[in-house]
Structure 1
């Protein structure tokens, strides 16, 4: 048994002891039924105002206290401009809120003795590889759920964007160079966590989706919850995804996250998620029955990796196993946010000592409404008054996520140099290119321009417009359709391109493909 494993139990109990003495603004005894009732009334008013003023089209909220669902309600509309209302049973795509849900599923497997948090991936899924042999041989479920494998945060997201499925993406992670030494750095990775979940399910002989149903969704009666996109779209009562278009919310884009289902592919309702929060606040006990051993679940809340400070409240923030662990103005809390930039925002916050939890799911991006409502509710419960306009503060954070990058890209490609260098003939660029990570790409002429096809069987097609010399532009991102990106060719002495670099696939310096044939 390695030293890491000997230390893990010490860390758990040290953390629990530390939590017991953490100072807070109010004790559990101060949180009277009257104060909670007043907080819920004001929370409802804040949610209604957020919908009324167009901050989000729709949202749903569930609040749990002392093993009871004390608030459950929907607000606004499932789709902007349509009459159907959001209620407690409206199904939302919950994005990265999937991560703590999936951590709970793995905790159930740990509780049942099927795996441990320190089970090695090499034993569970021998075909999986990281770029380096030592981390590959030592990697555990714990490492992947704590985002400390060394995988860069975006590893695999680019392959998902161009149409590859989960199995192919996980296979190709072996070509991604690490962004940090093994267990030395925190890098939030959708497909790293996905591998951890998939590997944990392997000993059962069942798919991850089946295991999640068997170990969590069915025992808690979460009848509208699934890790399959096909189940989400079967629901008539489901929320659309919204992005701002000309100052108004519009349901423009659909998102199928099946490839990263454990990390971002769960769909659920406020009613169902409230049952999950009951299990979390009950330390694995649900409706009087122990469903998950307390020690298996407690390990998910041990702070393993530092994340710095909360950007709005300033609280110290860490990552456990699929959970953020924060030490803020109201004491320790566990939580996780979720977002699809195509139009989803979600949040769970749990105050463990008070057995208090809130889940908020909304159908728009960017918006800070979930955090704003959660922080306001916590202020009301602990202090009796809201410290500041938390929705406004969080809106500022989310509004800045993409804006600067989009504007920088627009500025970089605002206009070609004058005079611009001419492009070569189409034949100079047309051909087949490849590397191990991206796979094949084909460039062909189309009218007066070029077309780039990438992904399995050319699943994604992008028009290329000449910009300067051997540099062409394309607009690959449906989420930010006015954001240009470059495709740069290297033309050899024979007048043909020997390689090209696809900027939007080059986050991890794997976007350069070599010519392997004329077609």
Structure 2
């Protein structure tokens, strides 16, 4: 009897302990939800974002998934966890994974020469052409300038195809020796996609669908041509104006395939990006059959050392940054992180994984979200690595604003005195010009103006303006990111007239690689 009574009391007491443990867990979860809600709301309000989706994985489980705002500002169409966003360069890890699948299958080796699979591939230096391996396409060590040739990819839409990309690479001059350092590259990811297609026996888009989306159940993700209506909710990019958020380059009913798909052309929902993240953090048996542990390790192995910005040292205690196959690797507050960002005009994303915690987060924004992404990334990292209620959106927003205000005077020159260029002043330079990788542009009179018109990138069309002793192009399309200077060199003995270009803002985005252009006049305007 005493035993039965004692057992009964033990059951009551342990039941009480269990109840208290459940209650404590529920309270902790509630607090965490409140912390994440505050981070989400503070970022949306502070940066006036049109829409955002944010998800958190903790110990392998999705513990938070929230979306808010509109797919198009003012439309009333809500952003949801199923809304598609452009993930931009987060596509690179998907391209690398498709190649890793081919390595697992024995169809490809990382150290295969690229020319083994693409005989037409050429770099500027014949030795680099011969020595470049498949792995080199993924790790930004080619020796090319940062963003070299990106004007063949953006602004979209344009008429450059993947054959143009491969042919154009031969004319892009390196700024350093092969494998001597890091410079971010997009064109070689397009080449990587073509290697995957050559080995896989189908075009890149079909390969991504069959080798990645289908086996991982990423049913919302899209690449290539697809129907906007069939996809359902699709976020559109926005720019910020005095009137607020304005949608730009809104998709038509049919979303076309794009040349840059392997470098940055995939769209996914928050739900699918969280599933993609969990595949890396807590792979199931089926997912380990989809991609082996050996290839997962190869993708997360440091291959190229990255520069270490002051902000990373001061905010995150980072000692080293490196690039794997489609992923950035770094230590943050003593913990290993694997991540990537995605940036396109009016669209920003980040996927951050903390493998030792089996945790991570995703943020996708359909507006002018550069600062918001920086602040959210740091705030959410501290949610894991250094939980402190005083470290919030306001804290990192203040640090970022202080960084920018202390960065020194802007190097953008004053061009407010601009006036339309005089036709008579440029008479000797009117005509058709050709760059070996960008193709032809026409610099010709139209009424009283001189017009710059690219044959293969129609959005790069505008009016030539004069600013003191120099000329610049004022683009017709205000969403084209940066204006360029245009400079002329007269013909000489055995030398044709030349035209070169450079960013008016010397610190502008590297993808506007005007500096890599070198035009020769090849004909008149007739």
TM-score by length of structure 1 reads 0.82
Q: How far apart are residue 276 of structure 1 and its match?
A: 0.9
Query: 1:473 maps to what in 2?
Result: 472
Alpha-carbon spacing, 1:155–1:492, altered in 2? closer, same or farther (3 Å)? closer
Measure the CA separation in 2 of the matches of 1:215 and 1:394. Answer: 40
Measure the CA separation in 1 of the matches of 2:91 and 2:227. Answer: 15
Aligned pair 1:75/2:74, yes or no? Answer: no
Q: Deviations over 1:456-480 (max 9, x none)?
A: 39674222134456x4321238566
Q: How far apart are residue 108 of structure 1 and its match?
A: 2.0
Q: Structure 2: 5+ residue runs without aligned partners?
A: 1-24, 504-510
Query: 1:486 maps to what in 2?
Result: 485
Query: 1:101 maps to what in 2?
Result: 94
Q: How far apart are residue 190 of structure 1 and its match?
A: 0.9
Q: Deviations over 1:73-104 (max 9, x none)?
A: 21222222232211110000111111122222
Map residues 327-406 of structure 1 onto 2, 5 A cutoff.
327-340=331-344, 342-386=345-389, 388-390=391-393, 393=396
Alpha-carbon spacing, 1:234–1:462, altered in 2? closer, same or farther (3 Å)? farther
Task: Please state whether the residue corresponding to 1:361 is helix, strand or coil.
Answer: strand
Alpha-carbon spacing, 1:499–1:396, altered in 2? closer, same or farther (3 Å)? farther
Task: Please state whether the residue corresponding to 1:150 is helix, strand or coil.
Answer: coil
Alpha-carbon spacing, 1:444–1:491, altered in 2? closer, same or farther (3 Å)? same
Q: How far apart are residue 388 of structure 1 and its match?
A: 2.6
Q: How far apart are residue 109 of structure 1 and its match?
A: 2.1
Q: Structure 1: 5+ residue runs without aligned partners?
A: 1-31
Measure the CA separation in 1 of the matches of 2:38 and 2:28. Answer: 16
Query: 2:521 maps to what in 1?
Result: 515
Query: 2:17 maps to what in 1?
Result: none
Alpha-carbon spacing, 1:54–1:475, altered in 2? closer, same or farther (3 Å)? same
Q: How far apart are residue 371 of structure 1 and its match?
A: 4.2
Q: How many pairs align? A: 480
Query: 2:308 maps to what in 1?
Result: 309
Asked if the contact 1:428–1:497 (Cα under 8 Å) also holds between the matched residues in 2, the reply is no
Query: 2:166 maps to what in 1?
Result: 170
Q: Deviations over 1:18-73 (max 9, x none)?
A: xxxxxxxxxxxxxx897566434311221123224454221112223444333222
Measure the CA separation in 2 of the matches of 1:144 and 1:474. Answer: 33
Residue 415 of structure 1, aligned match among 397, 414, 417: 417
Alpha-carbon spacing, 1:135–1:508, altered in 2? closer, same or farther (3 Å)? farther
Q: How far apart are residue 192 of structure 1 and its match?
A: 1.5
Measure the CA separation in 2 of the matches of 1:131 and 1:460. Answer: 26
Asked if the contact 2:223–2:257 (Cα under 8 Å) also holds between the matched residues in 1, the reply is no
- Structure showing greater radius of gyration is 2
Residue 228 of structure 1, aligned match among 200, 219, 224: 224
Asked if the contact 2:328–2:340 (Cα under 8 Å) also holds between the matched residues in 1, the reply is yes
Measure the CA separation in 2 of the matches of 1:391 and 1:207. Answer: 46
Residue 243 of structure 1, aligned match among 231, 239, 242: 239
Task: Please state whether the residue corresponding to 2:101 is helix, strand or coil.
Answer: helix
TM-score by length of structure 2 reads 0.81
Residue 152 of structure 2, aligned match among 153, 159, 169: 159
Alpha-carbon spacing, 1:371–1:39, altered in 2? closer, same or farther (3 Å)? farther
Q: Please give the root-mean-square deviation of Cα atoms over the aligned residues, in Å.
A: 3.5
Query: 2:429 maps to what in 1?
Result: 429
